[in-house]
């Protein structure tokens, strides 16, 4: 085995790593997954209460939280989404992530996110802007399902885990947006949705 110099996100070398015979780094998780990003004040969250989430291919009323990146040099890296419901839908649908490019100005017909904050409590505010809902210039260009909602009574709902690790699989560059949406407009559904993202230099 050989030693490898490990450099943290802040560019500081802290320890020696171990490499196997094939050169692969031998690692174990010794801290929480997003601890370093959060410690560096890079992690943010927003919360939205959304009634009847619209289909991802419709621009009007998209959300939420609808995250718009109006910064000049930051990427928003989506880490996780959480959700719950208090009123069931009359249209069975999937919930998922969508987004698009071509958003140099803030979306229109926006309402404020119901809550937003920093992962590092008391840290700097986010450079990206979350809204409860809004209307982007371009409708969602993709759909990544993460859950399903159905028409059964809320008292017998079978939804299990309501926390989804996106793991950085979606990055929102400057002048782009991303948001939870539905595969079909989920009429009457009232959903509480949270979004967690990291902001890193573009």
pTM: 0.85
Q: Give the model's confidence band at 18: pLDDT under 50 very low, under 70 low, under 90 confident, else very high.
A: low
Contact at 8 Å (CB) between 45 and 38?
Answer: no
Phi, psi (rounded to 5 degrees) for 156: -120, 20
Question: CA 146 to CA 128: how far, in whole Å?
Answer: 23
Per residue in 101-138, pLDDT (tens digit) is: 999 999 999 999 999 999 999 999 999 999 999 999 99
Mean pLDDT across the stretch 193-199?
Answer: 98
Per residue in 36-51, pLDDT (tens digit) is: 999 999 999 999 999 9
| pLDDT for 8 beyond 80 | no
Question: CA 167 to CA 77: how far, in whole Å?
Answer: 8
């Amino acid at each position: 085995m050989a030693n490898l110099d490990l450099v943290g996100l802040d560019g500081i070398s802290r320890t020696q790593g171990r490499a196997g015979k094939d050169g692969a780094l031998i690692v174990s998780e010794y801290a929480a997954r997003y601890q370093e990003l959060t410690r560096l004040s890079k992690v943010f969250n927003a919360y939205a209460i959304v009634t009847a989430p619209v289909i991802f291919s419709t621009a009007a009323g998209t959300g939420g939280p609808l995250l718009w990146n109006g910064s000049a040099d930051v990427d928003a890296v989506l880490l996780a989404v959480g959700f719950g419901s208090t009123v069931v839908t009359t249209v069975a649908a999937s919930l998922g992530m969508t987004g698009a490019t071509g958003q140099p100005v803030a979306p229109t017909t926006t309402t404020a996110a119901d809550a937003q904050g920093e992962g590092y409590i008391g840290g700097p505010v986010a450079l990206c802007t979350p809204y409860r809902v809004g209307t982007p210039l371009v409708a969602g260009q993709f759909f990544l399902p993460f859950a399903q909602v159905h028409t059964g009574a809320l008292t017998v709902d079978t939804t299990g885990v309501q926390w989804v690790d996106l793991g950085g699989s979606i990055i929102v560059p400057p002048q782009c947006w991303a948001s939870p949406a539905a595969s079909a407009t989920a009429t009457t559904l009232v959903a509480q949705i949270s979004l967690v993202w990291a902001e890193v230099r573009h």
